[in-house]
Amino acid sequence: MHSDSHDYSRAQLDDPDEAGDPIDPGECLVIDAGAGVGERLDRFLARMLPEYSRTRLQHWIAIGAVRCDQRPAASSMRLSGFERIEIEPQPLEAERAFVAEPVPLAVVHQDDDLLVIDKPAGLVVHPAAGNWSGTLLNGLLHRDAGQARLPRAGIVHRLDKDTSGLMVVARNEAARQSLTMQLADRTVSRRYLAIVAGRSPGAGSIDAPIGRDPSNRLRMAVVDPRHGRSARTDFRRLALGRIGGREVSLVECRLHTGRTHQIRVHLRSIGHALLGDALYNGPAGAPWPTRQMLHAWRLSFAHPSGARQCLFRSEPPADFTACLRVAGIGEAPTLLASHGDPGESS
């Protein structure tokens, strides 16, 4: 549908990240950039959307609520005229979200181009409804004011609030573009450890589209291809155990795509919901863990400088290893070593 006064339409905006608590996207604005050749993104949007102030639009760009061809873009980006611009209007609370706050961050690597962070469970990555402060983004701005020059303060992918583990954050625009491109090209390797209900298959690949669950807007689900986006998760079982008389499995997952809640949705779809994942009907409440047992343990990507391939590993946090002990399963690093690393071809 096209407006009589502006060249934009209304559409559903899907979240391309694996991570992040889902935000009901509602109606979003979609604008063809054909009338803005050579113009700055923020100035073009201010001209096309006079009902919003330029300052407000710049805030939306900063927190990642504006995408060009499904990727966050900087206010200063010059348009070629071929972009498809998607805008998710934000409430007034978002105006105060892009601020520095002393949020502790576990930085495992830092150089001029990027940071690698080991995120604890419970930390929200990006401001959104119900979490407008105290996020990883706020902590990044406090740690380095220069991150404010980048959309989402350099965040290029997310983890769910209650998922722990490794994330990479860009520190300049060239690095952001490089990492974003690698994510889009699926050349970033992301591996996760999950503890799931039941005896999972020994190994497999789940190739099933994911979209918003029509019966519960807080959840995602495997849906008809016409209503979702392609998604693939490879997995292998590392160990079996028992909790409360019920079998559980320790599983390693590799993402080939990065859809919201992808691992949680895919494993549930084959009958093996994550322990502690109440949203997706995983066992919760004593003797089960209080958050979903999902940890991003391994992250590999090409350094934006082109100089080398980077590989980082993170041992599971205390609550994850405690759950393994209760289940009678050995330590995850030992299990990974005994199974070997299948490499990037898996």
DSSP state of 125: S
Among the options 160, 162, 234, 277, which is catalytic?
A: 160
DSSP H helical segments within the chain, as ranges? 41-48, 54-62, 136-143, 173-185, 262-269, 318-326, 332-339
Please check whether residue 315 is in contact with residue 332, taking contact to mean a CB–CB distance below 8 angstroms: yes
Question: How long, in residues, is the chain?
Answer: 346
CA of 279: how far to CAs of 233, 236, 268, in Å?
Answer: 20, 23, 11
d(C-alpha 49, C-alpha 43), whole Å: 10
- Per DSSP bridges, beta strands 294-302 and 164-170 are parallel
Burial of 82 (0-12, 13-18, 19+ CB in 10 A): exposed
Residue with tokens 């490794």: 166
* 160 annotated active-site: yes
Angle between helices 54-62 and 41-48 (to 10 degrees): 130
Query: 10 Å Cβ neighbour count for 264?
Result: 24
SS3 321: helix
Please classify residue 70 by burial: count the beta carbons closer than 10 Å to its beta carbon, then call 0-12 exposed, 13-18 middle and 19+ buried.
Answer: exposed
What are the catalytic residues?
Answer: 160
